[in-house]
A and B are shown apart, each in its own frame.
Chain A
Amino acid sequence: MPDLTPPDVLDFQNVSKTYPGQPRPALNDLTLRVPRGSRTGVIGRSGAGKSTLVRLISGLETPDAGRLLVRGDALGPATRAAHQARTGLVFQQFNLLAQRTVLRNVTLPLELRGVPRARRDALAREHLDLVGLGEYAGRYPAQLSGGQKQRVGIARALVTAPDLLLADEATSALDPETSAGILNLLLDLQRERDLTLVIVTHQLEVVRAVTTHVAVLDAGQLVETGETAAVLRAPRHAATRALLDAHRPQVPLAPDETLRRVTLPDLNPDTLAALARAGARIVQAEPHPQGLDVWIAAPAASPEWAVLA
C-alpha cells in the first residue's frame, strides 16, 4: 500500500549549519517536523539559530549536514523555485521596496514568475483588500505606518497562494496594540486559507497567543518541543524557563503573594470585583489578540483563581 498521507510541510532531519569563519554551528543537529495546517512557534533568544532556520526554509542557505524536506522534497536547484512560490515570508523589517508603490510591492512575487500584468494587478488588489489596505495601492511604503507596512508584507506573502506562511519576528518592530492586530490577521488568514503557520519569534506572548505547537531553540539546538499550552505550563528545559521568567514583570511581592498571568477578554466590573475578593492586584496589562494579557499578584492560596481561569 502506498502511503497517501501528505508529507509534513517541514521536516528537519538532523540538520546542521555552520557559517564560514564561525566557531560554532548556527544550527546543530536539528530534528523538527511541522505538520500541515499547524501553527508552530519557534522561539529562542537572539543567536539561538532562528534566523538560520528561516534562511534554510526560504532556500537562502543549504544545510551542511542532515536533510531539510519541504513538502517532502529536499530543496535543490530543481525544486527550490516551486517551493519558494508556495512559501510566503513576512519579515520583522517588512523589507518592502521603498521605490515601488504598495501595489507594485505586492505584484513583485508574481512579476518574478512572469504572471501577466493584468492578472498580477488583479491578484495584488484582491490581497490588499484582504489586509484592509485596498485604498493604499498607489502610496509608497514611506507613507505607511509600521502596522500598515506589515499588512502590505502579508499581502505580498500571500499573493502567490502559498500553503506555508513563515513569519520571522513579524511583530517585533511593532507596538503591542499593532502587534495584536497583525497576529489576529495572521490567525484569521491561517484558518481561512488552511495555511501552515510558522512563527519565529523571541516574544513569548506571540507564541502564547497564536501557536498550537512550540519549538524552543537555544544555542543552535532544539531543547524543547510540544504543544504550546503544555510547554508553557510545565517547561522542562532551563532555556524555556528563562524565556518565561524574562517576561515576568519585576515588582516587589508580599511573602505570601505569587505572580500569575491570565488572559481576560476585558476588565469588566465582575472581573474587577472577583479580583478584589481574591485580594489580588493587577501588576501589568497589555493588549492581546483575545483581549488583555494581565499579570496579577495575589495570595498564593486564593480560591478565586478559578474565577479568572
Chain B
Amino acid sequence: MTWDALWPLLWQGTLDTLWMVVPAALCAQLIGTALGVLLTLTRPDGLHPQRPLFRVLDAAVNVGRSLPFIILLVLLIPFTRLITGTSIGSTAAIVPLTVAAIPFVARLVDGALKDVPRGVVDAARAMGASTAQTVFKVLLPEARPALIHAFTVMIVSLIGYSAMAGAIGGGGLGDLAIRYGYQRFETGVMIATVAALLVLVQLTQWAGDRAAARSDHR
C-alpha cells in the first residue's frame, strides 16, 4: 500500500479511536470518581460507614474489573442499543468502553483519596466542614495529582481496549491493524498502525505526567 492510500486510513483510524476513547474517558471519570468517593465515604473507617452499601459497591467494582473487555462488549449489546440506538460502530463502542473504565477509575480514585492524610480530613471536620465540603474542598483537591494520574492510566487502557471494538465494527486504529495487517498480511499497515498507537499512548502519558506534576505542590 502506498503512503497516499495509507494516510487517510490512519487518519480516519486515529479519529475513530479518539471518538471512542475521549467521550468514554470523560463519562467514566465522572461516574467513576463519584463511585470512588462513595467507596471512600462508606468504608468501615470512612466518614459515613455504611457496611452493606460498601460491600455491594466494593464487590461490583471487583466484578467489573475482572470481566474481560471482549465479554463485556458482547454482554452489554442490549444496553448499548438502548442508549445509542445501535450496537455497531464507533459510537456504540463508547458505551462498553465507559462501562469497562468506571470500576477501574473508581478503584484508582478510592486509592487516591485514601492517601489524603487522615489528620487533614479530621482538621477540616473539626473546623466545621460538612461531608460535601470535605469531599469538594479537601479530599478531591488534595488528591488532584493522583486523580490526574488515574485519568491518564485510564485513557491509555481505553486506547488498548478500543482495539477490540473492531469486533463490533467500531473502527479505530486497532481495527485497522487487524483488518489490514492480520487478515490481509499488509505488514506495512500493521507497523504504521502500531506506530500511531504508540505515539497516541506516549502523548497521552506525557501530557498526563506533566499535568500531574504541575498540579502537585507537595
Contacts and interface: CB of A to CB of B under 8 A. Distances in A.
B128 A112 contact: yes
B126 A108 contact: no
A93 B119 contact: yes
Contact of B117 (A81, A84, A95): A95
A89 B123 contact: yes
Interface of B: 117, 119-120, 122-130, 133, 137-138, 141-142, 144-145, 215-218
Contacts of B141: 97, 99-100
A89 B120 CA distance: 12
B137 A91 contact: no
A99 B215 contact: yes
Interface residues of A, number: 26
Contacts of A55: 122
A207 B137 CA distance: 35
Nearest to A98: B218
Contacts of B217: 98-99, 140-142
Grouping DSSP codes into helix (H, G, I), strand (E, B) and loop, the B interface class, with mixed when no group exceeds half, is helix
17 contacts: A58-B126, A59-B125, A84-B127, A84-B128, A85-B128, A95-B119, A95-B120, A97-B138, A98-B218, A99-B144, A99-B216, A109-B127, A112-B127, A112-B133, A113-B128, A141-B217, A142-B218
Given A108-B137, A112-B133, A140-B217, A97 B127 contact: no
Interface in A149-205: none
Contacts of A97: 120, 138, 141-142
A89 B138 contact: no
A129 interface: no
A60 B125 contact: yes
B23 to A, nearest CB: 28
A151 to B, nearest CB: 16
Contacts of A96: 120
A286 interface: no
A68 B55 CA distance: 35
Interface string A130-152: 00000000001110000000000
